[in-house]
Structure formats: C-alpha cells, structure tokens
C-alpha cells in the first residue's frame, strides 16, 4: 500500500498546513459534538419534564358512539398482559363548578384510583400541601392545584361545594394541593373514582384509561395492541405531536447549521489540496514515470483528504465530548421551555461515531475533485512544467 505511504509522508512533510487543516475541521466538529450533547440533553430533559412526568404514554378512549368504557376492569386485565405495560389508571372525567365562600370556578374533575393514577402520572411528586393518599381514605375529598386553591381561597381542611347541571351536588373536603407548574393547576381537580361516579350519577364506568409503559418509545406498539382489543388508543406522540415537532425542528436547524460549518471546513481542505496538487505537479509526473497509475494518484490525494478529515473529526469529537463532560450542564438562568432552565450535556458514543463517519466521508468526497485533477495530469507535461 505505497499510496498510503506517500499520502502520509505528504501530510507529515507540510506539517503547518496539515495542522491548520485538521484544526479547522476539528473546531467545527467540536462545536457539532458539543452542540449535539446539548441537544440530546435538552431532548432528554424535555421528555423527562413532559412525557415521563406529566403525560401518559397511551390514552384509551371509549368505543365509537359510546360515552364511557363500561367493562373497563376486563379491559385493564387485558392491557396488563401487553408486553411493556407498567401501570394503568382508569379515570372518569366530568365538569363541575367549585364554590367556596362565594368564589366559584368551573373545573375538570377527574375521578381516579389514587395508587393506580400515581403510578401513571406521579401526581404525588407535585403535592405541596396535604396528602394525595387521603383521597382514598377520606370519602368526598379533593386534591386541587395551587392556582385553583388561590382562586377559591381554600386551604387544607376547607370544604368546597361541587355542582353542575344534571349532576348530584356534593361537598368535597380539600385534602391536598399540588403544583405541576402547568396551566392545569388552575383547572384540574382530583377526587376518587366513586366520588365522580356518584356526582355524575353513572354506574361503574370510566371515560379514559391511561397507560404507562417501561419505555416511552414503546408507546406506539402498546397503543397498536390496545387498538386491536377494540378500543381506540393513542400514544403520546399522537396526542402531543408538538413535542416531537419542536424537538425535530430544534435538532434539524442545529444539525444544518453545524453541518454547514463542517462543509466550510472541508472546503478549506479542498483548497489546501488544490495548492498541494499545483505544488507537486512535477512530483506527480515523476511518480507516473515510475509507474504510478492515474487511479493510484487519485487514491493518494483522496487519502490525504480523508486522513485530514478523520484526524480533525477524531480530535473534534474528543474535544467536544471533553468540553461537554467538563461543563456537565448549562444553566440558562430562566425557563427555556416546559419548566426547563438547566440543560444537561449528554455525550453518546453513537453521536461521536456518526459525526466522525460523516466528517470522514465528507472529506473523502471533497478530496475527489483536486485528486482527479492530479490524476489527469499528463506525465510529460507535469515533469516539464516549471
């Protein structure tokens, strides 16, 4: 493999040019790696603050033309058998007007099985006053959001009047206040399933079943299997397409910008190679006189471009990863999105591998043009050129 021998010697002989070319690619790759680590961290944080904590992976609705899921206990048993399902929460949702000392507010009242619901929605983590579990113990109790509590001016132990046309009015004792840092804190109240069933005057039915899987990426598969059971189910990707779109948009614009920087750095290599081809015209002619074929001349110069790209990519990826690991996270000092203000850097091996391969291939391709110019030189003209 004398081509590699010549290519490496060319690069080591013009050390300064080589170092600058590698640095140009390296810096661009470092930025890409660093930014990718931030993007992955942002994505993880976004999922953890939304999909993993405030929304179910799959939502099951009543069958067509039905208002309720009647045989929900059977359905839960069947869903439980689906591979990857971790927890299930049946809920009955109704609208109610809450009134306390002359202040009133229309709210969405969700009747839940406390333990089941907590295992899907982790509401207990957001409780800031009182006890979520008391919903199960105290009959006619309610947990409200902090914003709703403020509107109605209620505290733990106060009793709210709940009413609505065609519903059975009832009194609900406030046993807990939660703060999810979302708009639902003002509109959503939790009570036991039986309380809402009594309030609405319905039998043992639910309006929705929420499901959590062991991995958010399996949600689609789980919802497909529930669909097959005859109940319309939607994964979080279908119910919240804006999350995917936002992340995709962020990620795409990020990749395009940084990809362009790498392409610009690669152009630097192309121009360096052109200079080398001009500089080494006589040598190329002499190599041809010694029996090097046009194909091998092409290989030599493409190799040079590839080696520069590979070195730049490896150095850039290492520096980018080290920089990201050293920083650990970046604190914006304000809420960027969905309660996210600090973004952790997540360095993934697969990102490093993809970036290195992309940069290497890009440089191989970029090197083809100057290399083909070199290979098309006529030996007699190349040797004779001054």
DSSP, residue by residue, 294-349? HHHHHHHHHHHHHHHHHHHHHHHHHHHHHHHHHH-EEE-SS--BTTB-EEE----H
- Contact pick of 102, 157, 291, 333 for another protein (by CB under 8 A): 291
CA atoms within 13 A on the CB side of 280: 25
- Contact pick of 295, 329, 335, 341 for another protein (by CB under 8 A): 295
- 5 near another protein, rule: CB under 8 A: yes
- Judged by CB under 8 A, how many residues of this single chain contact another protein? 24
Q: Please state whether 270 falls in left (phi above 0), alpha (psi between -120 and 50) or beta.
A: alpha
CB 295 to another protein: min, Å: 7
- 57 near another protein, rule: CB under 8 A: no
User: Taking contact as CB under 8 A, which single stretch among the options 47-55, 174-182, 253-261, 293-301 is the one that binds another protein?
Assistant: 293-301
The answer to whether 197 and 92 have CB atoms below 8 angstroms apart is: yes
- 288 near another protein, rule: CB under 8 A: yes
Residues whose CB falls within 8 Å of the CB of residue 123, separated by 6 or more in sequence, listed in order: 117, 132, 143, 178, 180, 190
- 289 near another protein, rule: CB under 8 A: yes
The label of the residue with tokens 């507010």 reads 105
- 203 near another protein, rule: CB under 8 A: no
CB 279 to another protein: min, Å: 10
- 218 near another protein, rule: CB under 8 A: no
- 385 near another protein, rule: CB under 8 A: no
The number of beta carbons lying within 10 Å of the beta carbon of residue 220 is 16
Residues whose CB falls within 8 Å of the CB of residue 259, separated by 6 or more in sequence, listed in order: 32, 358
- 165 near another protein, rule: CB under 8 A: no
The number of beta carbons lying within 10 Å of the beta carbon of residue 8 is 14
CB 292 to another protein: min, Å: 6
CB 329 to another protein: min, Å: 47
374: closest CA among 279, 289, 290?
A: 279
- Contact pick of 101, 181, 248, 378 for another protein (by CB under 8 A): 378
The pair of structure tokens assigned to 194 is 């039986």
- 333 near another protein, rule: CB under 8 A: no
- 4 near another protein, rule: CB under 8 A: no
- 339 near another protein, rule: CB under 8 A: no
Task: Give the binding site for another protein (CB under 8 A).
Answer: 2, 5, 9-10, 12-13, 282-283, 285-296, 378-380, 383
């Amino acid at each position: 493999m004398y081509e590699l021998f010549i290519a490496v010697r060319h690069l080591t002989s013009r050390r300064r040019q080589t170092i600058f070319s590698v640095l140009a690619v390296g810096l661009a790759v470092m930025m890409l790696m660093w930014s990718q680590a931030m993007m992955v961290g942002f994505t993880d944080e976004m999922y953890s603050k939304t999909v993993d904590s405030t929304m179910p992976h799959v939502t099951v609705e009543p069958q067509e033309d039905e208002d309720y899921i009647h045989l929900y206990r059977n359905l839960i048993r069947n869903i439980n058998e689906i591979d990857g399902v971790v927890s299930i929460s049946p809920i009955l949702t109704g609208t109610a007007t809450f009134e306390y000392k002359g202040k009133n507010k229309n709210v969405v009242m969700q009747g839940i099985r406390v333990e089941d619901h907590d295992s899907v929605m982790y509401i207990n983590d957001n409780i800031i006053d009182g006890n979520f579990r008391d919903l199960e113990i105290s009959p006619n109790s309610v947990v409200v959001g902090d914003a709703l509590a403020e509107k109605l001016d209620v505290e733990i132990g106060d009793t709210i009047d709940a009413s609505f046309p065609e519903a059975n009015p009832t009194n609900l004792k406030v046993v807990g206040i939660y703060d999810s840092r979302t708009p639902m804190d003002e509109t959503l109240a939790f009570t036991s399933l039986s309380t809402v069933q009594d309030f609405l005057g319905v039998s043992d039915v639910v309006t929705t079943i929420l499901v959590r899987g062991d991995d958010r990426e399996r949600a689609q598969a789980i919802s497909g299997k529930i669909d097959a059971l005859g109940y319309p189910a939607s994964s979080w990707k279908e119910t919240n397409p804006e999350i995917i779109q936002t992340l995709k948009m962020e990620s795409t614009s990020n990749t395009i910008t940084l990809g362009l920087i790498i392409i610009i750095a690669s152009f630097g290599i192309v121009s360096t190679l052109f200079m080398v081809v001009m500089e080494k015209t006589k040598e190329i002619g002499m190599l041809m006189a010694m029996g090097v074929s046009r194909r091998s001349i092409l290989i030599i110069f493409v190799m040079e471009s590839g080696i520069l790209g590979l070195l730049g990519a490896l150095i850039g990826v290492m520096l980018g990863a080290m920089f990201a690991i050293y920083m650990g996270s970046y604190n914006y000092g304000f809420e960027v999105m969905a309660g996210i203000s600090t973004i952790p850097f997540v360095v993934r091996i697969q990102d490093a591998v993809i970036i290195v391969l992309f940069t290497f291939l890009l440089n191989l391709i970029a090197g083809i043009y100057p290399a083909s110019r070199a290979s098309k030189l006529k030996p007699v003209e190349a040797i004779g050129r001054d």
